[in-house]
Amino acid sequence: MFSPRHYTTCLLLFLLVLSDFSMSESQSPWAAKKKRMREKVRNMFYHAYDNYMTYAFPHDELKPLTKTFTNSLSELGNLKLEHLPQDYNGTALTLIESLSSLVIMGNNTEFERAVLWLSENLTFDVDARINLFECNIRVLGGLVSAHLLASDSSKKLFQGAYNNQLLPLAEDLGKRFLPAFNTPTGLPYAWINLKYGVMENETTETSTSGCGSLILEMGALSKITGDPIYESVALRALRKLWSMQSSLTLFGTTLDVTSGQWIEYSSGIGAGVDSFYEYLLKAHILFGKEDFWKMFHSAYVAVQKYFRHGPWYHEADMMTGRATYWQLTSLQAFWPGLQVLIGDVIAANASHREFFHVWKRYGVLPERYLLDHQMLHPTEKYYPLRPELAESTFYLYQATKDPWYIEVGESIVNSLNSYTKVEGGFASIKDVTTMQLEDHQHSFFLAETCKYLYLLFDDSFVHGNNYIFTTEGHPLPVLSTWHEELPEAYIPTNGTFVKRHPRVNRISAMSLQVCPAMNLKSGQHIESVCHIPDARSDYRCLTDEDCGVDASTCRQRSCSMAGYCGLWVI
């Protein structure tokens, strides 16, 4: 399912477990439940999709309570609908976001119909101010993913021939992004007008995610068009952002694109930063560049050192590493899924269970929960149908095949149907304490929430295929032709590269780029990807060299005056 060029020993096992399990799973007692839940999710998707097509298409998103539409892609921030051109019909955002979900659910006819409509009707030559990050992950990502799926002749998604109808749309949109990168730093503006580029007096403030999470979509666009400019500008922005790290390898949340100075120094793994970490690893998987892996490795260890507290992740000051905000945010729930991709399954499971505990407490996952007070944030009590918990549940089930995750998925499905389903679609929740609804069905409900739940119960789409999913849930195939070098060893059945490492003692699994379970020595238990056990099982030591690295915090242990290894120096 996933195939990076180097860090694939974990993922190869991941594929083999999936393949072996699938042969016997059809006879398991869970098969009937998975089939039943799959159909529930399919019904959810089409209830949302059909209502969008009836009441909102070709506008961006559905307002399910009033059965009308919103052109939300152009309303993000402070821009009001009345500021848009009177003839602006939106970008058919939800339709674009639904394309790969239609493929995964086997509806080739509707996929072909949607592609043909988009190719004949969609235009980006409109006087509309859009958010670069959101338009990139939702629209460009949706078009690039659908183009690659349609181009795969083995899937037979078209009755006739697919003539690259989506490619000109993707390339046109990519070209309209380019003026945003014309800054002294190469960091792009957060907002851009699709017709006129960067407007006068445009804000120069953006987020870490906003300028560090463009490389997958724009890199893929360069690969399919043969024009390196898209990958080049996204890579330049990413490298500039990387150069702005603190001495602790931490990053802030917001920054100025003209001066290259940080505005907000506190950050975590949630809003404003989340997909930056995600794209470092996934860019390594998709493009095979070792630089991406090195950046992710350093950044991941820093996160574990300075943000992690047991199963939770708080926020911290990028300069000092001191905790700033002790809070859970719903966007953080993607992190366990990312950890699965590097084999840190124990840590992923611990965090996932805490997120699900909060879900069970409130019925859904609130946007922000104050860990230090064990209470909801007073103003951010909403749930906008977010997918992150479902996403991590899917990854953890694929890694472990523990049926408990099927029960988690069932609970999520039941909650969504109980609290958010209305006659006109699925509505967001404005207040999780009262379950008061809000008139908005976000496009990511179809692009991600329904998709990951469907894949949890029916993973046939990924069998025998290598895909990574973008932060918006759009699948991109991992192709050897996109990598800088040909792999050293190739397994035709799954396309996975295996790099054989020499035996190295006292080095972490992450440094070796192997699964923790494969880095075992006799009598040792490897607990995480950064864990290095102490030289002796009784923790006795003579010098610091006898001490390893803590499994939870990734901090170096040291030898005390009494001769015992521990976290004596913080």
pLDDT attached to residue 376: 95
Q: List 206's β-bridge partners, or say none.
A: 255
User: Encoding tokens for residue 288?
Assistant: 């095979």
pLDDT attached to residue 445: 98
User: What one-character DSSP code corresponds to residue 330?
Assistant: G
- Please name the residue that has the structure tokens 């009836």: 54
Which of 251-255, 491-495, 514-518 bottoms out in mean pLDDT, i.e. has the lowest? 491-495
Residue type, 118: L
Q: List 438's β-bridge partners, or say none.
A: 428
Which of 2-16, 35-49, 83-97, 457-471 bottoms out in mean pLDDT, i.e. has the lowest? 2-16
User: Encoding tokens for residue 75?
Assistant: 């309303």
pLDDT band, residue 307 (cuts 50/70/90): very high
User: What one-character DSSP code corresponds to residue 323?
Assistant: B
Report the pLDDT averaged over residues 204-216. Answer: 98
Q: Is 232 exposed, middle or buried (0-12, 13-18, 19+ CB in 10 A)?
A: middle
pLDDT attached to residue 492: 34
pLDDT attached to residue 30: 86
Residue type, 287: F
pLDDT attached to residue 512: 80
pLDDT attached to residue 464: 85
Decide if pLDDT at 510 tops 90: no
Report helix, strand or coil for 262: strand
**At residue 17, what are phi and psi to the nearest 5 degrees?**
-60, -45
Strand extents, DSSP E, 446-487: 467-469, 475-477
Q: List 425's β-bridge partners, or say none.
A: 422
Q: Which helix (H) or strand (E) holds 229?
A: helix 229-243
Decide if pLDDT at 241 tops 70: yes
Report the pLDDT averaged over residues 531-551. Answer: 93
> Whole-number mean pLDDT of the chain?
89
Q: List 327's β-bridge partners, or say none.
A: 370
**Of residues 91 and 197, which shows the higher confidence score?**
197
Decide if pLDDT at 548 tops 90: yes
pLDDT attached to residue 79: 34
What is the per-residue pLDDT across 30-50, written as a single tens digit (0 to 9) for each? 899 999 999 999 999 999 999
Decide if pLDDT at 497 tops 50: no
pLDDT attached to residue 91: 85
Say how many residues make up the chain.
Answer: 570
pLDDT band, residue 71 (cuts 50/70/90): confident
pLDDT attached to residue 287: 96
pLDDT attached to residue 12: 38
Cα angle 19, 526, 536 (rounded to 5 degrees) comes to 155
**Of residues 555 and 489, which shows the higher confidence score?**
555
Cα angle 276, 239, 225 (rounded to 5 degrees) comes to 85
Cα angle 313, 318, 322 (rounded to 5 degrees) comes to 60
What is the per-residue pLDDT across 384-425, written as a single tens digit (0 to 9) for each? 999 999 999 999 999 999 999 999 999 999 999 999 999 999
Decide if pLDDT at 21 tops 60: no
Specify the pairing of strand 191-193 against strand 205-207.
unpaired
542 within 8 A of 536, measured Cβ to Cβ: no
Contacts of 225 (CB under 8 A, 6+ apart): 167, 170, 171, 174
Highest mean pLDDT out of 9-23, 61-75, 481-495, 521-535? 61-75
Q: List 255's β-bridge partners, or say none.
A: 206, 262
Report the pLDDT averaged over residues 295-317. Answer: 96
Give the catalytic positions in this structure. Answer: 134, 274, 367, 388
pLDDT attached to residue 76: 40
pLDDT attached to residue 507: 84
Reported for 532-535, long-range contacts at CB under 8 A and 24+ positions apart, including other chains, are 532/506, 532/507, 532/508, 534/565, 535/506
pLDDT band, residue 149 (cuts 50/70/90): very high
What is the per-residue pLDDT across 549-562, written as a single tens digit (0 to 9) for each? 999 999 999 999 99
pLDDT attached to residue 7: 42
Cα(478)–Cα(476) distance, rounded to whole angstroms? 6
Cα angle 525, 541, 248 (rounded to 5 degrees) comes to 75
User: Encoding tokens for residue 333?
Assistant: 């729930």
| Exposure string for 443-470, b = 16+ CB within 10 A, e = fewer | bbbbbbbbbbbbbbbbbebbeebbbbbb
Please state whether the peptide bond connecting residue 184 to the residue before it is cis, i.e. omega within 30 degrees of 0: no
Cα(133)–Cα(251) distance, rounded to whole angstroms? 18
Task: Name the nearest CA neighbour of 42 among 112, 128, 114, 101.
Answer: 101
pLDDT band, residue 508 (cuts 50/70/90): confident
Decide if pLDDT at 14 tops 60: no
**At residue 147, what are phi and psi to the nearest 5 degrees?**
-60, -45
Report the pLDDT averaged over residues 99-127. Answer: 96
**At residue 221, what are phi and psi to the nearest 5 degrees?**
-60, -40
470 within 8 A of 141, measured Cβ to Cβ: yes
Residue type, 492: P
Torsion of CA 397, 399, 404, 410, to 10 degrees: -10
Report helix, strand or coil for 155: helix
Residue type, 436: Q
Strand extents, DSSP E, 67-201: 68-70, 129-131, 191-193
471 is in an annotated binding site: yes
352 within 8 A of 366, measured Cβ to Cβ: no
Please count the other Cβ atoms lying within 10 Å of the Cβ belonging to residue 23: 8
Which of 24-28, 106-110, 202-206, 438-442 bottoms out in mean pLDDT, i.e. has the lowest? 24-28
Cα angle 344, 348, 353 (rounded to 5 degrees) comes to 155
pLDDT band, residue 501 (cuts 50/70/90): very low
What is the per-residue pLDDT across 331-385, written as a single tens digit (0 to 9) for each? 999 999 999 999 999 999 999 999 999 999 999 999 999 999 989 999 999 999 9
